[in-house]
A and B are shown apart, each in its own frame.
Chain A
Amino acid sequence: MSRLAPPTSFLGDELGPRGRRRVATATVVSVVLIAAVVVVAAMRFSDNGQFRADLWRPFTEWRFLHFLLGGFVNTLKAAAVAMVLAMAIGAVMALTRLGDHRAVRWPAVAYVEFFRALPLLLLIYFTFVALPPLGLHPSVFQALVLGLAIYNGAVLGEIFRAGILSLDKGQGEAAAAIGLSRRQAMITVIFPQAARRMAPAIVSQLITLLKDTALGVLIGFDDALARAKIIGTFSNNVLQSYMFVALCYIAVNLVLSRISHRLEVQQRRLGAAPIDVVGIDDLAVMSIQASAGADG
């Protein structure tokens, strides 16, 4: 359903004539107010000379765009590697946590609870400065990816676990009935189905991960944000540079979130219930659930 469609479902029934009049007035008033805000902002910009062409021109020139987009390549590289690692860690954590023995379960629980409770910024900084005295020397890229993978591995572990648990018990029972071992059942029956259910949440987590790669500027990662800063100080157009790079991020993430949304709609059409991920403090995952509700 398009996000802008009027949800009259909420009000229960169509609006009567008085209601329609009120809505019409409110529409006019709100349009006027919005226009006023936009005009004031535009005037502020122009009074400070921020509409001058020379401030915006760098972003129409290929050499600057090329430079900035090169930074995006690094962002995507870091995100891709971190995502793969995080999924591996997440799978291990989920399967361990669903294991039979408490001694095996406990470390996985500890890992997930501990790393989800820490700021990602702290983790990244830690991997960069605290490992060398211990003998490990990660590069900037490696430290960033490691930090991202550790944290997102914990979150994905919870997502995977929720996905596996959301499957009907009958699947596991049927697999046992035809003689599959627990491990075979997991690999051939449960995980593939769970994976399809988790796809929207995973894509959503990828969006969060992509945004989090920007934290790399703390340790000197040469990504889009760092390059935007260089352009800004070089051409004296800081405001425009940051606005432009924000737009790039928004564009990429909008595409990803549309993909996630499509996946989720597809899931719902196949009859799968949206994964209950309440209790996971990752915002993107929650917003998937929220938007699932919003369209329902």
Chain B
Amino acid sequence: MRSHRNNRVWAIPALVAAACLIAVACGGSSKKAAPTPSSVTSTTAPPTFPAGTTMANIQAKGKIVIGIKYDQPGVGQRNPTNNAFEGFDVDIAKLMAVGIFGGTKETVDSKIEFKEAVSKNREPFLQNGDVDIVVASYTINDTRKKVVDFAGPYLLAHQDILVKTADNSIKAVADLNGKKVCSVQGSTSEKNVVAKAPKAELVSFDDYSKCTEALTDGRVVAVTTDGPILAGYVAKSNGAFKVLNAPFTDEPYGIGLKKGDDVFRAFLNDRLEKIEADGQWAKAFEATLGKLGLAVPTPPPIDRYGTAGASSTTTSSSTTTTSVKTPPANTVAPVEDTTTLPAEETTTTPTTTP
């Protein structure tokens, strides 16, 4: 009787485990997006790069590793049903990869390995070399510039607030004082809300999907981060959430790369200018954030900080706080002449908590 009983109890977990193992053996653990049949409209042949540059190394490796967000619909999201990656950041990332490997946005999938880069892991990933670039709603600011470099900005977002649709008690960031608000560890959103609403009770998780869960569950009454990210959650919420449209900061999104790699940064900036000029940037926006109801803006001017002789007029986009009225995205405000760029970099507006 003992062995009979034992066998029966054995069987069920053994079957489940065996099923798991067989499933895994038959499938792969590929994180690459499934290759889609491409209706090729325009192919670009892979360019050649001078030996020793990061671009040449990436080409030689045969793949580029890119850190993105996995849980921000419209910006960077991983789709578990087909292991595809979707969103504006993802499209920008793919367009960068096309600049190295040629082909089109659709065919370059096989050359990209995506990794989830939650906010607080973005700098370690770049410093460790875990990823080649980070395109993950990554706000450019001076504190971060101390440890990583940025190409771009490729989008000017603004921090806003997400609440339940039925909640009318919160109209602006000052209303958050005394309330529980959620943000993400290691993000500028976290620092900004503490600066603007010092009496707010901040709850921080490591990603925004946990924040929206907390909002649904009533653990917090508001979630604060950049408008594009919030727009994605509103779309997913089927009317349960709304964005206040009371933006209170500037968040220039940049492509993060390892500090000191000026050649790579120049390449990425050139590539960004190209896709902004030939319409691919706007198309990507329309296909992702545009579908969430956001109007296609003009791309912000690229900031080639630290390089002498940068041809484009630059805006000092290193402020993250202080400005109450946000300038419209397409205003170019030439602050200083390019020759004084180094000085520009060091005049840091006091960032809140270091």
Give the interface of A toward B (CB within 8 A): 1-2, 4-5, 61, 63-70, 72-74, 128-129, 132, 137-140, 218-220, 222, 226-227, 229-231, 233-236, 238, 247-248, 250-252, 254-255, 258
Contact of A222 with B27 in the complex, beta carbons under 8 Å: no
CB neighbours of A252 from chain B (8 A): 13, 16-17, 20
> Can you list 17 A-B pairs, Cβ within 8 angstroms, ordered by A?
A1-B2, A2-B9, A67-B80, A69-B24, A69-B27, A70-B29, A70-B30, A72-B24, A132-B127, A137-B128, A139-B128, A222-B116, A234-B77, A234-B78, A251-B12, A251-B13, A252-B20
User: Can you list, as one digit per residue, whether each of B170-191 has a CB less than 8 Å from chain A (1) or not (0)?
Assistant: 0000000000000000000000
Q: Is the CB of B6 within 8 A of A233?
A: no
A contacts with B: majority SS: helix
**B117 proximity list for chain A (CB < 8 A):** 220
The reply to whether the CB of B121 lies closer than 8 angstroms to some CB of chain A is yes
Q: Are A220 and B10 in contact (CB under 8 A)?
A: no
CB nearest to B13 among chain A residues: A254
Cβ of B196 within 8 Å of any chain A Cβ, yes or no, is no
Q: Does B35 contact A (CB under 8 A)?
A: no
Q: Does B115 contact A (CB under 8 A)?
A: yes
B residues contacting the other copy or chain, number (CB 8 A):
44
Contact pattern, B 1-34, Cβ under 8 Å of A = 1, otherwise 0: 1100110011011101100100110011111000
**Least Cβ distance of B142 to chain A in Å?**
20
* B124: A residues at CB distance < 8 A: 128-129, 132
Report, nearest first, the 7 A-B pairs whose CB atoms are least far apart.
A254-B13, A251-B16, A137-B128, A233-B209, A2-B5, A67-B80, A73-B29
Give chain B nearest CB distance to A124 CB in angstroms: 13
The distance in angstroms between the C-alpha atoms of A252 and B236, with both chains bound, is 34
Known: A233-B209, A255-B13, A258-B10. A4 touches B83 (CB 8 A): no
User: Which of A138, A218, A233 has a CB less than 8 Å from the CB of B128?
Assistant: A138
Q: Distance in Å from the Cβ of A61 to the closest Cβ of chain B? A: 8
Nearest residue, chain A, Cβ from B238: A236
Q: Is the CB of B81 within 8 A of A64?
A: yes
Look across to chain A and name the residue whose beta carbon is closest to the beta carbon of B114: A222
- Other A-B pairs, 13, CB within 8 Å; known A66-B27, A233-B213, A251-B17: A2-B1, A2-B9, A4-B5, A67-B83, A70-B30, A74-B29, A220-B121, A230-B71, A233-B209, A233-B212, A250-B13, A254-B13, A258-B14
